Amino acid sequence: MSSTRFPALPNELYLGLLSHCSLKVLVALKGVCREWRRLVPIADIPPDRHALLEFYLYLIDSGYFLLTRSWILDNIKFFDHEAYLASLVEQGAILPEAFKLWITEWPAKAAIPWFLSNEDPNSDNDISAPPWHLKDTPPYNSILQEVFTQAVLDEAEVDNTYSAEDAVQLEENDSTDDAVDKDNSGYTEDKDSDSAEDTDDDI
């Protein structure tokens, strides 16, 4: 029985092909063989897609991921991704490329059904609601909160354009504002007190 093998092509060609693959294809290729698993991480994948791939691999490594799959498969709702994005644009939304990539390429069976911890526990129909009816509800924030908190910190570090002098000036402005607020607060209390006395006189 003969085995089917890919032709022996230069690694550079394979890496070039991988750079154009979608997220789902990249995930599938990592399960083909040891050679593909070696090539996928070093391919020149666009940053947003590479970030999604890393997040996917991080997510499926967690035991919590498997605990939620039965609920996902029972409650998954398919929709027209392109139509959804088009409707957001029609409403005036400016969509980041990373968001569009998430909507169009993230595997449906790897859907994340919740992000917030204050959802309505009585909601059984909303795909965004946590699976309160599961026997063992996983502590979902342990994964997502770590990932998204780090993303926020990274973005803040990139956007931090304040110099040391700016920080000092901001602190001085805050101190001045606090002093003004304190003075105004006292003035308001006196004024309220006078109003109360006038009301007593009227009664």
Rounded CA separation 184/193 (Å) = 14
The pTM score is 0.51
Q: How confident is the model at residue 144 (pLDDT cuts 50, 70, 90)?
A: very low
Tens of pLDDT, residue by residue over 31-90, are: 787 877 888 887 888 888 888 888 888 888 877 777 778 877 877 777 788 888 888 888
Q: Which of 62, 69, 151 is nearest to 102 (CA)?
A: 151
Which amino acid appears at position 146 of this protein?
Answer: E
Average pLDDT of 3-27?
75
Placement of tokens 């063992």 in the chain: 136
Average pLDDT of 165-179?
51
Q: What is the pLDDT of residue 39?
A: 80
Percent of the chain scoring above 70 in pLDDT: 51
Q: What is the pLDDT of residue 29?
A: 80
Rounded CA separation 199/19 (Å) = 76
Q: What is the pLDDT of residue 150?
A: 55
Task: Write the Ramachandran bin of 10: left for phi over 0, alpha for psi from -120 to 50, otherwise beta.
Answer: beta
Q: What is the token pair recorded at 103? A: 């909507």
CB-based contact 14:47 (threshold 8 Å): no
Q: How confident is the model at residue 14 (pLDDT cuts 50, 70, 90)?
A: confident
Average pLDDT of 108-137?
47
Q: What is the token pair recorded at 126? A: 């909303």
Q: How confident is the model at residue 143 (pLDDT cuts 50, 70, 90)?
A: very low
Give the domains, in start order, of the chain with CATH numbers: 10-45 (1.20.1280), 46-141 (no CATH)
Rounded CA separation 134/70 (Å) = 10
Rounded CA separation 192/186 (Å) = 10
Q: What is the pLDDT of residue 173?
A: 56
Q: How confident is the model at residue 153 (pLDDT cuts 50, 70, 90)?
A: low
